[in-house]
Chain A
Amino acid sequence: MSTTLPPFEEIVSTHGPTVLRVCRAVLGPMDAEDAWSETFLAALRAYPTLRPGSNVEAWLVTIAHRKAIDQARARTHRPLPVDPLPERAAPSEADRSDGDLWAAMQALPFKQRAAVAYHHVGGMPYADVAALIGGSQDAARRAAADGIAKLRKTYGEGGPR
Chain B
Amino acid sequence: MMTTHEPGEPERSDLFVGLTAIDEGTMRRLHGRLVREAQTEGLLDVAYRTIDSPVGPLLLAATAKGLVRVAYQCEDHEKVLERLARDLSPRILHAPARLDAAAKEIDEYFAGLRRGFELPVDLSLASGFRRLVLARLREIGYGQTASYAAIAVAAGNPKAVRAVGTACATNPIPVVVPCHRVVRTDGSIGQYVGGVEAKRTLLTLEAAA
Q: Which residues of A approach B to under 8 Å, CB–CB?
A: 4-9, 12, 16-17, 20-21, 33, 36-37, 40-41, 44-45, 47-48, 51, 54-55, 58-59, 91-92, 94-95, 97-98, 101, 116, 119-121, 123-128, 141, 148, 151-152, 155-156, 159-161
> B34 at the A/B interface (Cβ < 8 Å)?
yes
Residue count of chain B within 8 Å CB distance of chain A: 44
**Besides the contacts A41-B41, A44-B34, what 12 more A-B pairs have beta carbons closer than 8 Å?**
A7-B85, A7-B93, A16-B31, A17-B27, A44-B38, A51-B1, A59-B1, A94-B20, A97-B20, A120-B13, A127-B6, A159-B15
Q: Which residues of B contact A41 (CB under 8 A)?
A: 34, 37-38, 41, 43
Q: Which residues of A contact B43 (CB under 8 A)?
A: 41, 44-45
Closest Cβ of chain B: how far from A158's Cβ, in Å? 12
Known: A37-B33, A48-B89, A101-B19. A55 touches B12 (CB 8 A): no
> B118 at the A/B interface (Cβ < 8 Å)?
no
Q: What are 23 A-B interface contacts by the 8 Å CB criterion?
A: A4-B82, A7-B92, A8-B93, A20-B30, A33-B30, A37-B34, A40-B30, A44-B38, A48-B89, A48-B90, A51-B1, A58-B4, A91-B26, A95-B20, A98-B20, A123-B12, A125-B6, A125-B9, A148-B15, A159-B15, A159-B18, A160-B15, A161-B14
> B207 at the A/B interface (Cβ < 8 Å)?
no
B34 touches A20 (CB 8 A): no
> B23 at the A/B interface (Cβ < 8 Å)?
yes
Tell me the total A-B contact number using a CB cutoff of 8 A. 135
Closest Cβ of chain A: how far from B45's Cβ, in Å? 9
Q: Which residues of B approach A to under 8 Å, CB–CB?
A: 1-6, 9-10, 12-23, 25-27, 30-31, 33-34, 37-38, 41, 43, 46, 48, 81-82, 84-86, 89-94
Complex Cα gap A94–B197 (Å): 47
Complex Cα gap A121–B12 (Å): 8
